[in-house]
């Protein structure tokens, strides 16, 4: 029977612009590329990825009372996601992310939160009435909503997973309770700890620093083309990446954490789950866009072999 995951997070429309490079201050650049408006947002990406990986997904979010909000809710319904806890905000626009994608596949993202900034503790607490088996959230929503998710998950005795992006050095990490998996990328790790995880020694130092801030069972550092690093308070392991052509790194981290969460709930094995997540994240960078890059469960299993 599929596990039920409550995803509390953001819903955006992404304005994706391909460009040869990012212009310097004062420079006007004719990109010569393409642009598109596509569904995205860290919460939406994670919800769709978790569903694709075989979980039942309840999504707690907010969208504006506009065409973009309508488009997002229709998409979630098409993908089989429980949308009862998505609120339509009459006063705010649907969130927007401007994604500048360079030829190398590297991206830079600017987010306008819009309705996402109104996702609050009561929104999240109400969604627990769907009786989830686990909760997955990110930092693209208000801290009080993230803390409420952690507090309620601890009270209900269900595992709580955190994709620590976008990181904020001022986030009150100490208020999070009993985190099952805490997963930042390299930049987020440095923001939260002051340590760049650019070698094994620094990965360990950063993981220990995080465990000193939060009650974490597993730290899983997303290291991009170097794979991922796991620390459980005693032991550590570096999980090798998959070698794939990079088209667009947008949403790869979201897909990784959603796949890790889903597989961990199936197996209770962090190592095999990290290998599974590496494969899912690798496949995500081979396609353009956010939601559009989410692989199928069959594709992930085929890559793993």
pLDDT recorded at residue 52: 97
Higher pLDDT pick, 17 / 278: 278
The β-bridge partners of 96 are: 13, 112
pLDDT recorded at residue 175: 95
Please report whether residue 172 resides in a domain. yes
pLDDT recorded at residue 36: 87
107 pLDDT tier (thresholds 50, 70, 90): confident
Catalytic member of 14, 232, 254, 269: 254
pLDDT tens for 13-68 read 999 888 888 888 998 988 887 888 999 999 999 999 999 999 999 999 999 999 99
pLDDT tens for 163-214 read 999 999 999 999 998 999 999 999 999 999 999 999 999 999 999 999 999 9
String of DSSP letters for 152-211: HHHHHT--EEEE--S--TTS-GGG---EEEEE-BHHHHHHHHS----SHHHHHHHHHHHH
pLDDT recorded at residue 248: 85
Instruction: Supply the mean pLDDT for the chain.
Output: 95
pLDDT tens for 220-241 read 999 999 999 999 999 999 999 9
Average pLDDT over residues 262-280: 97
String of DSSP letters for 226-258: G-EEEE-SS-EEEEP------S--TTHHHHHHH
* Share of residues in the chain with pLDDT > 90 (%): 85
Q: What is the largest CA-CA distance in the chain?
A: 56
Average pLDDT over residues 261-268: 98
Average pLDDT over residues 103-128: 92
Please report whether residue 3 resides in a domain. no
Q: Are 64 and 115 in contact (CB under 8 A)?
A: yes
pLDDT recorded at residue 32: 80
Q: Is the pLDDT of residue 108 over 90?
A: no
Residue span of the structural domain in which 271 resides: 9-23+32-304
- CA count, 13 A, side-chain hemisphere, 292: 15
DSSP label at residue 82: B
How far is Cα 180 from Cα 236, in angstroms, rounded to an integer?
16
pLDDT recorded at residue 225: 92
- Residue 121 a catalytic site member: no
Please report whether residue 240 resides in a domain. yes
Please report whether residue 1 resides in a domain. no
Please report whether residue 67 resides in a domain. yes
Four-CA torsion 112, 114, 6, 230, nearest 10 degrees: 20
How far is Cα 298 from Cα 53, in angstroms, rounded to an integer?
9
pLDDT recorded at residue 1: 84
Please report whether residue 4 resides in a domain. no
**Overall number of domains in the chain:** 1
Please report whether residue 2 resides in a domain. no
Supply the CATH number for residue 73's domain: 3.40.1190.20
pLDDT recorded at residue 226: 96
Please report whether residue 273 resides in a domain. yes
């Amino acid at each position: 029977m599929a596990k039920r995951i409550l995803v509390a997070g953001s819903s955006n429309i992404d304005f994706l612009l391909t460009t040869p490079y990012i212009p310097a201050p004062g420079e006007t650049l004719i990109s010569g590329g393409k642009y598109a408006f596509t569904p995205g947002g860290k919460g939406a990406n994670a919800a769709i990825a978790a569903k694709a990986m075989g979980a039942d997904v309840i999504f707690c979010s907010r969208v504006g009372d506009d065409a973009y909000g309508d488009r997002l809710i229709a998409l979630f319904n098409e993908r089989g996601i429980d949308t009862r806890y998505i609120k339509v905000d009459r006063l705010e626009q649907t969130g927007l992310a401007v994604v500048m994608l360079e030829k190398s596949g590297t991206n830079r993202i600017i987010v306008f939160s819009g309705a996402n900034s109104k996702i609050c503790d009561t929104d999240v607490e109400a969604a627990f009435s769907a009786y989830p088996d686990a909760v997955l959230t990110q930092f693209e929503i208000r801290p009080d909503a993230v803390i409420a998710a952690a507090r309620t998950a601890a009270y209900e005795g269900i595992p709580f997973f955190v994709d620590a992006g976008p990181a904020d050095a001022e986030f009150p990490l100490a208020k999070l309770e009993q985190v099952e998996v805490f997963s930042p990328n390299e930049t987020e790790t440095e923001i939260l700890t002051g340590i760049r995880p650019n070698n094994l020694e620094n990965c360990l130092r950063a993981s220990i620093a995080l465990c000193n801030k939060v009650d974490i069972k597993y730290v899983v550092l997303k290291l991009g083309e170097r794979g991922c690093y796991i620390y459980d308070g005693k032991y550590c392991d570096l999980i090798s990446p998959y070698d794939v052509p990079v088209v667009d790194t947008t949403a790869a981290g979201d897909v990784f954490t959603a796949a890790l969460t889903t597989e961990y709930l199936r197996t209770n094995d962090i190592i095999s789950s990290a290998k599974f997540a590496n494969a899912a994240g690798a496949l995500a960078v081979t396609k353009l866009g956010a939601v559009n890059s989410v692989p199928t469960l069959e594709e992930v299993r085929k890559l793993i072999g």
